[in-house]
Amino acid sequence: MTLETISENRSFGGVQGVYRHSSEATGTRMTFAAYLPPAAAAGPVPVLWYLSGLTCTHENAMTKAGAQEHAAREGIALIFPDTSPRGEDVADDEAFDLGQGAGFYVNATETPWAPHFRMWDYITAELPAVVFDRFSLRRDAQGITGHSMGGHGALTIAMTMPETYRSLSAFAPIANPSESDWGRKQFAAYLGNDAAAWGGHDATLLMREKGYPGDLLVDQGSSDQFLDLLRPQALAEAMAARRQPSVMRMQEGYDHSYFFVQTFMGDHVRWHAERLRD
């Protein structure tokens, strides 16, 4: 697969790059960012996948999260995928929370989304094949995190594929989308009206059903303007009922912005690095 280099910049002794490739999963050109720490020059390093939220691209966390300095210190690579397929022939919607920029990390089955909106396959299979072929990364040391819609993606993917993702965290995840307008609307559009098809993409339901074999870290701002849509209390109750090893922190006064993410990014990178080291 041909990988086009859009840019590469020196950052904290490592390299922050942006790349583009043709995706079979989405049938489009896809762009992603990758940060390689200085340690990658000496051999394969652990990798942390960061999934972004609604309206975002690969660029939001790359430029706003302040993750590179922490990743360089801990010797861990970062991958920032896009949040959806894009292009003139890709279905879209006037609403910001559906269509391009709002893939919800599912494989759509419904018209007009099904031909391109296959973000589950893209994130869990196709993009990993691309990055492991190109960069010096350890397949046996992968962690996953994300913010908002991306936190939803990180939780659901890791609980479904725990053998792949050895560490897990989330920032203000959409925690119970089956019971939220950030979920019911999108799942009905992408997956159809049968709610039974939604369960595999709801972190709270997956926590009740199977949990995660390791521990997990979740940070949530107490002043988040979207608390009613995120439903962190549902996830907390499911974790408590399951006795899931976890750290779930309500951060006083923080909202949903990247100022919140940036503040606690160092904690999350360290969390993953500690669990991905041999």
> Whole-model pTM above 0.75?
yes
Q: Does residue 256 have an active-site annotation? A: yes
- For the segment 156-215, what is each residue's pLDDT rounded down to a tens digit? 999 999 999 999 999 999 999 999 999 999 999 999 999 999 999 999 999 999 999 999
- Which structure tokens are listed for 236? 């907390």
Amino acid at 4: E
Mean model confidence pLDDT for the chain: 98
Q: Write down the catalytic residue from 147, 152, 256, 272.
A: 256
Domain boundaries, the chain: 4-276
Look at residue 1 in the predicted model and tell me its pLDDT: 64
Look at residue 39 in the predicted model and tell me its pLDDT: 98
> Look-up: residue for tokens 């390689």?
36
pLDDT band for 278, please (50, 70, 90 cuts).
confident
Architecture of domain 4-276: 3-Layer(aba) Sandwich (3.40)
Q: Write down the catalytic residue from 148, 169, 180, 246.
A: 148
- For the segment 46-100, what is each residue's pLDDT rounded down to a tens digit? 999 999 999 999 999 999 999 999 999 999 999 999 999 999 999 999 999 999 9
Containing 34, the helix (H) or strand (E) segment is strand 29-36
Q: Does residue 178 have an active-site annotation? A: no
Q: Write down the catalytic residue from 116, 224, 268, 272.
A: 224
> Is the predicted pLDDT of residue 110 greater than 80, yes or no?
yes
